[in-house]
Amino acid sequence: MEYSKLVAVTGLPGLFELINSKTDGAIVRSLEDNSTRFVSSRIHNFSHLESIEVYTVRDNVNLVEVLNAMDSAGELPDEKDAAAVKKYFEKVYPDMDFERVYASDMKKMVKWFSVLKKNKVEIKLSEQPEQEPVAEEVVAEEESNPKHNVKKTAAVKEATEEQIIEAAKIANAHDFIIKKEGSYKSNIGDRGSKLSGGERQRLTIARALLKNPPILILDEATSSLDTESERLVQDAINNMMQNRTSIVIAHRLSTIRHADEIIVLQKGKIVERGNHEQLLAQKGFYRKLVDMQEVR
C-alpha cells in the first residue's frame, strides 16, 4: 500500500486508500476494517496525506516529517488523553507550534500513525519526476524577478512592488513569503511545487486581488487543505470578497456560511436557498450537511 494513495475524509473516522476517483466522488477502502465504499464529493472532502502540512515555530513541515519523528519515539500515548498527547509531541517534535496545532489535530496524528503502522505503510512522499533541464532553466530565470511569484498574468504586469506586497498582506501571504530565504525573490518551483497547498492558494488570491475583477468566482477554494491552512485561506477570501460580487462553489460549508444567499443543489436541482441561519432553521438537506461537517 502506497502512502501517496491515502486520504482522510471529512465526516468519516480513520484513513482510507483511494481506489478509484470519479467525477462525483471516489471509491475508497478503509484501513480500519478493509471495507470498500463510495464516498460522495457532494458531502465529503478528501485530504491527501501527502498534501497535509503541520505548523512549526519556523516554516511549515510536511506531515511525513512529524510521522517519521514519531516512528523513532517509541510507545504512543493514549489518543484520548489530550494532556498526554501534547506532552508526547512536546518531546517528539518540540518545534511544533502548539498555539496553532490543536489538541484534536495531535490526537488525529496519533491515531493515523497507529493505523499506518498496523497496515505496514512505508511513510514517505512519492518521488517527484525530474524536470527537463530547459524547463528548470526557464523557471529559475523567471523567478529571479522579485515580483514574479505574485505578478503572474499580463493583466497585472504593471503592478508596483508596493501593490504586490499589499495584495500579499490582504491574502495572508506576506508573512510566509518574508520567512522564505529569498523573501519575494524566492524560487517556488514549477507551478509552486515548493509551496504547501495553503500557500499556493494564498498566492492565487493575491494575484486575483491585483487583477481586481468586479465579479469573483471561486470554485472549491479551500478543498484539500488542513484546518489551519483553511482558516488562513478563508480569511484571505473574505478580505478579497469585500466590495465585489462573489460566486462561491463549495462542498466545504465553512467557506460559504457568511454568504448573503446560499443555494443548495442536490442531484442537479435547487432544493433550498437562504442564508446560513435561515437554512439551519429549515432543518432540511443543508442542516444535514452542516451536522455531518460539524459547521456552526
Mean pLDDT of the region 62-66 = 90
Whether 148 and 205 map to the same domain: the answer is yes
Report yes or no on 74 lying in a domain.
Answer: yes
Indicate if 152 and 202 belong to the same structural domain.
yes
Domain range enclosing 238: 133-244
Task: Classify each residue of 58-76 as buried b or exposed e, where b means 16 or more C-beta atoms within 10 Å of its C-beta.
Answer: eebbbbbbbbebbeeeeeb
CA angle, 212 as apex, 209 and 216 as ends, to 5°? Answer: 85
For the chain, what's the residue count? 296
Asked whether residue 263 is assigned to any structural domain, the reply reads no
**pLDDT (tens digit, 9 = 90+) per residue, 26-36?**
899 999 889 99
Q: Are 156 and 168 in contact (CB under 8 A)?
A: no
Q: Which among 253, 260, 187 has a CA at the least distance from the CA of 220?
A: 253
Residue 261 lies inside a defined structural domain of this protein:
no
Under 8 Å CB-to-CB from 85, ≥6 apart: which residues? Answer: 77, 78, 79, 103, 106, 107, 110
**Are the C-beta atoms of 97 and 86 separated by less than 8 Å?**
no
Residue 252 within a domain: no
* Domain CATH code at residue 75: 1.10.10.1650
Task: Clarify whether residues 82 and 154 are in a common domain.
Answer: no
Q: Are residues 45 and 56 in the same domain?
A: no
Percent of the chain surpassing pLDDT 70: 80
The pLDDT of residue 156 is above 90: no
CATH number of the domain at 177, please. 3.40.50.300
Distance of alpha carbon 72 from alpha carbon 68, whole angstroms: 7
Same structural domain, 61 and 43: no
Q: How many domains does the chain have?
A: 3
163, 143: one domain: yes
What is residue 31's predicted lDDT score, i.e. its pLDDT?
Answer: 93
Q: In terms of domains, do 75 and 146 share one?
A: no
Asked if residue 227 and residue 158 are part of one domain, the reply reads yes
pLDDT tens readout for residues 140-154:
333 434 444 554 444
Question: Which CB contacts under 8 angstroms, 24+ apart, belong to 185-194?
Answer: 185/143, 185/144, 185/145, 185/146, 186/143, 186/149, 187/139, 187/140, 187/143, 188/143, 188/149, 189/139, 190/131, 190/135, 190/136, 190/139, 193/128
The reply to whether 83 and 156 lie within a common domain is no
Arithmetic mean of pLDDT, 80-108: 91
Q: Is residue 265 part of a domain?
A: no
Taking alpha carbons only, the member of 60, 54, 24, 59 closest to residue 39 is 24
- Of 208, 207, 218, which is closest to residue 255 (Cα–Cα)? 218
Percent of the chain at pLDDT exceeding 90: 17
Among the three residues 244, 273, 291, which one is the final residue of a domain in this structure? 244
Q: Which residues contact 169 (CB under 8 A, 6 or more apart)?
A: none
Q: pTM (2 decimals)?
A: 0.48
Q: What is the mean pLDDT of residues 268-276?
A: 87
Same-domain status, 203 and 150: yes
- What pLDDT is recorded for position 142? 36
Q: Are residues 38 and 92 in the same domain?
A: no
Between CA 14 and CA 9 the distance in angstroms is 8
What's the pLDDT tens digit per position in 166-201? 878 877 778 888 887 778 777 776 666 677 767 777
Same domain as 193, residue 216: yes
